[in-house]
Amino acid sequence: MAVDLKTADELKKMRVAGRLAAEVLEMIEPYVVAGITTEELNQICHDYMVDIQKVIPAPLNYHGFPKSICTSVNQVICHGIPSEKKVLKNGDIVNLDITVIKDGYFGDTSKMFGIGDVPYHAQRLMETTRIALSKAIEIIKPGTRLGDIGHVIQQYAESNHYSVVREYCGHGIGTEFHTDPQILHFGRPDTGMVLKEGMTFTIEPMLNAGKPHTKLKKDGWTVETRDGRLSAQWEHTLAVTADGVEVLTARNEENF
Ligand code: MF3
Ligand code: CO
Ligand code: CO
């Protein structure tokens, strides 16, 4: 499995794409409220990306995906399809996953939003998943191994009595959406590929309140928990630097 290392020039373009993807999540925040449909969120993001940012929404037509963003509500783990029939309601949790292409380079990031008064157990699931991602990011530097990343996430998730989704993973990213290596969100320390300066990939853990098992809906895209319980996901695009990591999709609200 060949993993390409980005040059300084390529990293510059990855930085631009990553920042633009993050800015879509910052832009959409005030709209993510009770009463809006996931299709309306898709349309607002699409118009912002195409008309203002001059980027290509990567999901649109990707292997036939019909929309410009993914919207995954409550028991939906990932790849939820925006729909005019899906109205967000008080207490829902939703992941918005944004991927842009700018100047040939991809930036991929997602975060959770709570709608109105979210029950404590759902807040805690979202927050634990966010922290699992940040703990994984913290250990990244040349020499860290992929098993170390998986282990940190699995350890933190399971110590909080959540399960880690196995069938979907993070991925290398650059001039293509999904490349090697696969970034598993579970694993054993000191195993797997050794990270090198210039690698770019996503980490995007999905944690379930119940069992880890997934079910693909008949639309061919929407992935749900088999037991119908809640799921949460956060995602960043990262670059391994000489002595650590750069979060290419960091938002202003974060302090990486
Ligand atoms: N953005 C997703 C990821 O994190 C992939 C979405 S593919 C789509 O890898 F076709 F569903 F949009
Ligand atoms: Co991704
Ligand atoms: Co994504």
For the stretch 56-101, pLDDT in tens is 999 999 999 999 999 999 999 999 999 999 999 999 999 999 999 9
Ligand 1 binding pocket, CB closer than 6 Å: 59, 62-63, 65, 70, 79, 97, 99, 108, 204, 221, 235
CA pair distance 109, 248, nearest whole angstrom: 9
Closest-lying ligand 1 atom to the alpha carbon of residue 98: 1
CA of 104 from ligand 3 middle (Å) equals 17
Does residue 98 sit within a domain?
A: yes
Does residue 133 sit within a domain?
A: yes
The reply to whether omega before 181 is within 30° of 0 (cis) is: yes
Residue 230, domain CATH:
3.90.230.10
The pTM score is 0.98
For the stretch 202-253, pLDDT in tens is 999 999 999 999 999 999 999 999 999 999 999 999 999 999 999 999 999 9
Does residue 3 sit within a domain?
A: no
Host domain of residue 186: 8-247
CA of 183 from ligand 2 middle (Å) equals 10
Does residue 62 sit within a domain?
A: yes
Mutate to test the pocket of ligand 1, among 68, 79, 249 (most ligand atoms within 8 A of CB): 79
CA of 109 from ligand 2 middle (Å) equals 7
CA pair distance 12, 17, nearest whole angstrom: 9
Tally of domains within the chain: 1
Does residue 123 sit within a domain?
A: yes
